Amino acid sequence: MRPKKRMKEIILLKDGELALKGLNRSTFEDILIKNLRGRLSSLGEFSFFKSQSTIVAEPLTEDIDLDEAVRRIGKVFGIVGISRAAVCEKDIAAVTDMAWRYLAEELQNAKSFKVTAKRADKAFPLTSPEICDEVGGAILSHFPRLKVDVHDPAVTVSVEVRDKGVYIHGAQKPGAGGMPTGTGGRACLLISGGIDSPVAGYMLAKRGVKLTAVHFASPPYTSQLAEMKVHSLLGKVSEYAGRVNLFTVHFTAIQEAIRDYCPEEMFTVTMRRLMMRIASRIAEWQGCSALITGESLGQVASQTMQALRCTDAAATLPVFRPCIGMDKNEIVVISRLIDAFDISIQPYEDCCTVFTPRHPRTRPTLAYAEEIEALLPDEDAMIDEAVKTAKLLVIEAYGDNAE
Amino acid sequence: MEIYLDNSATTPLCKEARDAMLSAAEVSYGNPSAVHGKGIEAKTLLETARRQVASVVGASPREIRFSHSGTLANNTAIFGAAAANRRSGNRIVTTAVEHPSVARCMDALEQQGFEVIRLKPSDDGHFSVEDLFSAVNKNTILISAMLVNNETGAVNPVRQIADAVRQAGAPALIHVDAIQGFGKLPLKTDALKADLMTFSGHKVHAPKGVGALYIRKGVKIKNYIYGGGQEDNLFSGTEPVPAIAGFGAAAAALGNIDRSLERAERLRETMIENLSDVPGFRLNSPADALPYVINLSVTGIPSQVMINALSQKGIYVSAGSACKKGRRSEVLTAMGVPPAVIDSAIRVSLSRFTTEEDVLGFCAGVQEAAGKLRRKR
């Protein structure tokens, strides 16, 4: 428990790879702050300011739920460390008193500690070592069992003297890492409702990519529950990736045509090729530079290298497959990390499992795939219709955040 | 257009139940255990509802206990009877096709060391009287069987249970899960000779959140919920008075059960007639089943696809086979229904409010879906 008396608290965010980006850095930080603002806006008003490699998030009203704010910030890409800090006036007596009170809970349960001090405001009368002495002494007098250990302390008490005040904080929690979403362009995720595609979306978002999503629904062969499952999955991805525009494509007529005109062994590859065509169209229209799928090499018949070549050839954009070299177990680890796994394993049919051939062709040649696809009558008209009638739904993790 | 034919899953509220609930919630909102006027008002509603439910099955009001769900009533009946009777023997006889609220209790009792015999359904869709007689011995302390099978509407010969008990000289209590039969079959507890019977409100146009357990006068079972001692100490917890009042009102509004049954019979015939020329159509329910529950297949169209297709048109039915992945309905399998037919099975369940128009609308929906969903070449 933090002390009952309301002391002013802020959140300090360390940005990671951003430091490497030279002159772009300021732009990147601006995008990161915009993302943070979007993610936190439904909690209340914050002000953000940059200071060296730290972004300071300061709540502007007292009733803001900072626990929830820290949880949300933990899923914002571009941040490597998060600390919650108390803000103290620039007076050494006040600083020493607040340090032990603010971190009492952590110190109570620890065996050893050290104090680090940074004095950015050189007008402060004490030097950094002097601050450490004062604060460390006060802590020792209140927690006599604690030992000072400067090499491997259980708790590090940080005191930062800055222009606007003194910040006191304990351990830094790891952030989500990665690059701020939006700094890496936009790509279109093909999402099925399984385990892999949300993971693929998460992985690219982590590299700064903003997501648009396309889902293929085939009612009545697939149920409304399967679509709702995709909405929940994207909700989870959106906690990391920010707002996602989801296009749901009505795919029934195309699947029925494939069923009626193509040999069974080529159902899946032909279906995947049409999905690529439709997704490419929507992606280009939405300003995306690539497609993203959750495919993993050899996982199923349509994910052999030969089959992937056939599907790739139907796409007009590069296809990113971040899970391509991963085992299912490795994908599941990430799926659990983003809390999507339990949703993914709900048992609703998706359009990949409708009309599943008993013996799919595992090594189709491109020429054969093209020959089979040519059997479909009015293919272009069907694709036009599918693109035109796709329904847009905006998925935003915390409801009213605007990015 | 909305055609609701999933009445074995749950039913919409009837007007009588709604009015009773509102008045119970807004006017007689006291705690029935309270001794002041508001409490007495609520208590009076409980006793009215008790009389109303009792009269449907020809029981005395004192033999009816209200529970918070059908599942809770089944659990209490089974664990309560097994505990009360455990010194008299070790065998429990039930069927292999009970609702989970009975089947899972039996699994638990088996783990506790009881010998549980599960009667398999015969090709008529219900348990065979012969199997029953050979399963019941003088160590049998409890027999629990559903009256109406929820997948097919097949009616179990539960009247025979008492004879089997007598013949074996067993100390057994007889429990009948009558949730699917209450208000649909003319049930008289005397005729069924059951010691315990379970009912549920929301299957007969009462709200969710209320069930009832009939306990024949003189029968004692052990409680397994502990608390304020409500409902003869069997269902502790403040009584859900609005739901109970709704259940009572819905029971009183059932009307002539025989006449409704004949109507359901005619509706079922209309349905079968109208579907008979649909390619792949097959009726899976036995001919003598409760006509409110109609299990049928349009072979080749998987259950879920048919449900989705009908649902898009505002027609609501459920899957005909409560199957887990890789395991098909035991009832339909026992009746000799081929696997491909089982995979297409849907359950259409009527209520006394179902109209001929509903049935014809459903048939038209099936015909259209059957035409569209099949492979063209």
Residue B64: name the closest of B168, B182, B227, B202 by CA: B182
Residue B111 has which token pair?
């783990």
Interface of A with B in 244-273 (CB under 8 A): 256, 259-261
Cα–Cα distance between B159 and B93 in angstroms, integer?
Answer: 15
What pLDDT digit, counting tens, does each position of B145-183 carry? 999 999 999 999 999 999 999 999 999 999 999 999 999
How are beta strands A9-15 and A79-88 bridged, if at all? antiparallel
Q: Is B298 on the interface with A (CB under 8 A)?
A: no
Cα–Cα distance between B205 and B222 in angstroms, integer?
Answer: 30
Average pLDDT on B104-130 reads 95
Measure in Å the smallest separation between the Cα of B376 and chain A Cα atoms: 6
Average pLDDT on B275-299 reads 96
The predicted structure's pLDDT at residue B130: 95
Average pLDDT on B201-225 reads 96
State the CB neighbour count (10 A cutoff) for residue A393: 15
- In order, the DSSP letters of A30-77 are HHHHHHHHHHHGGG--EEEEEETTEEEEEESSTT--HHHHHHHHTT-T
Buried b (16+ CB within 10 A) or exposed e, B205-241: bbbbbbbbbbbbeebebebebeeeebbeebbeeebbb
The predicted structure's pLDDT at residue B325: 52
**Lowest-confidence range among A384-388, B113-117, B299-303?**
B299-303
Cα–Cα distance between A191 and A204 in angstroms, integer?
Answer: 13
Q: Residue A224: its chain B contacts at CB < 8 A?
A: 308, 311
Q: What is the pLDDT along chain A (403 residues), one digit of tens a residue?
A: 444 456 889 999 998 765 566 777 888 889 999 999 999 999 999 999 887 778 999 999 988 999 999 999 999 999 999 999 999 999 999 999 999 999 999 999 899 999 999 998 889 999 999 999 999 999 999 999 999 999 999 999 999 998 888 999 998 899 999 999 999 999 999 999 899 999 999 999 999 999 999 999 999 988 888 999 999 999 999 999 999 999 999 999 999 999 999 999 999 999 999 999 999 999 999 999 999 999 999 888 889 999 999 999 999 999 999 999 999 999 999 999 999 999 998 877 665 566 778 888 889 999 999 999 999 999 999 999 999 999 999 999 887 433 3
Tell me how many residue pairs between chain A and chain B have CB atoms under 8 A apart: 30
Residue A363 has which token pair?
């090594």
Residues present in chain B in total: 377
User: Hey, are the CB atoms on B312 and A220 less than 8 Å from each other?
Assistant: yes
| 8 A C-beta contact, residue A200 and residue A294 | yes
Q: Which of A220, A260, A347 sits opposite B308 (nearest CB)?
A: A220
* Per-residue pLDDT at B271 exceeds 80: yes
| 8 A C-beta contact, residue A317 and residue A189 | no
User: Hey, are the CB atoms on B375 and A259 less than 8 Å from each other?
Assistant: yes
pLDDT band for position B214 (50/70/90)? Answer: very high
Long-range interactions of B224-231: CB distance < 8 A, separation 24+: B224/B75, B224/B76, B224/B79, B224/B80, B224/B83, B225/B72, B225/B76, B228/B33, B230/B32, B230/B33, B231/B65, B231/B66, B231/B67
What is the fold, at CATH topology level, of the domain defined by A186-395?
Rossmann fold (3.40.50)
Residue B175: name the closest of B245, B311, B78, B289 by CA: B78
What pLDDT digit, counting tens, does each position of B63-79 carry? 999 999 999 999 999 99
To test the contact with chain A by mutation, choose from B298, B301, B305 the residue with the greatest count of A C-beta atoms within 10 A, namely B305
How are beta strands A244-250 and A155-162 bridged, if at all? unpaired
Q: Is A353 on the interface with B (CB under 8 A)?
A: no
**Percent of chain B with pLDDT strictly greater than 70:** 97
3-state secondary structure of A181: coil
Whether B105 sits among the annotated catalytic residues: the reply is no
Q: Residue A347: its chain B contacts at CB < 8 A?
A: 325
The predicted structure's pLDDT at residue A358: 82
How are beta strands A165-169 and A210-217 bridged, if at all? unpaired
Domains and CATH numbers, chain B: 15-252 (3.40.640.10), 256-373 (3.90.1150.10)
Q: Is B374 on the interface with A (CB under 8 A)?
A: no
What pLDDT digit, counting tens, does each position of B253-264 carry? 999 999 999 999
pLDDT band for position B336 (50/70/90)? Answer: confident
What is the average pLDDT score of chain B?
A: 94
Q: Which of A256, A261, A349 sits opposite B304 (nearest CB)?
A: A349
Identify the bridge partners of residue A190 per DSSP, sorted by sequence position: A214
Query: Among all residues of chain B, which has the CA nearest to that of A221?
Result: B305
Residue B109 has which token pair?
């009792």
Identify the bridge partners of residue A246 per DSSP, sorted by sequence position: A213, A393
Residue B70 has which token pair?
């059908």
User: Hey, are the CB atoms on A219 and B369 less than 8 Å from each other?
Assistant: no
- How far from A16 is each of A26, A35, A53, CA to CA, in Å? 13, 15, 8
Residue B165 has which token pair?
């008990």
Please compute, for residue A264, the number of CA atoms within 13 A of its CA located in the half-sphere on the CB side.
Answer: 8
pTM above 0.90, yes or no: no
The predicted structure's pLDDT at residue B212: 98
The predicted structure's pLDDT at residue B81: 98
Each domain of chain A, given as residue ranges in start order, spans: 9-176, 186-395
The predicted structure's pLDDT at residue A6: 62
The predicted structure's pLDDT at residue B324: 52
Is residue A394 packed enough to be buried (19+ CB in 10 Å), middle (13-18) or exposed (0-12)? exposed
The predicted structure's pLDDT at residue B275: 97
Q: Residue B308: its chain A contacts at CB < 8 A?
A: 219-224
Is residue A129 packed enough to be buried (19+ CB in 10 Å), middle (13-18) or exposed (0-12)? exposed
Q: Which of A223, A256, A261 sits opposite B308 (nearest CB)?
A: A223
C-alpha dihedral sign at B221, B224, B225, B229: positive
Q: Residue B366: its chain A contacts at CB < 8 A?
A: none
| 8 A C-beta contact, residue A35 and residue A242 | yes
Active-site position among B14, B105, B323, B363: B323
**Percent of chain B with pLDDT strictly greater than 90:** 89
CATH number of the A9-176 domain: 3.30.2130.30
Residue A260 has which token pair?
């009626």
Report DSSP state, residue B28.
S
Q: Is B276 on the interface with A (CB under 8 A)?
A: no
Q: Is A46 on the interface with B (CB under 8 A)?
A: no
Cα–Cα distance between A171 and A389 in angstroms, integer?
Answer: 52
Q: Residue B309: its chain A contacts at CB < 8 A?
A: 219-220
Q: Which amino acid is at A321?
A: R
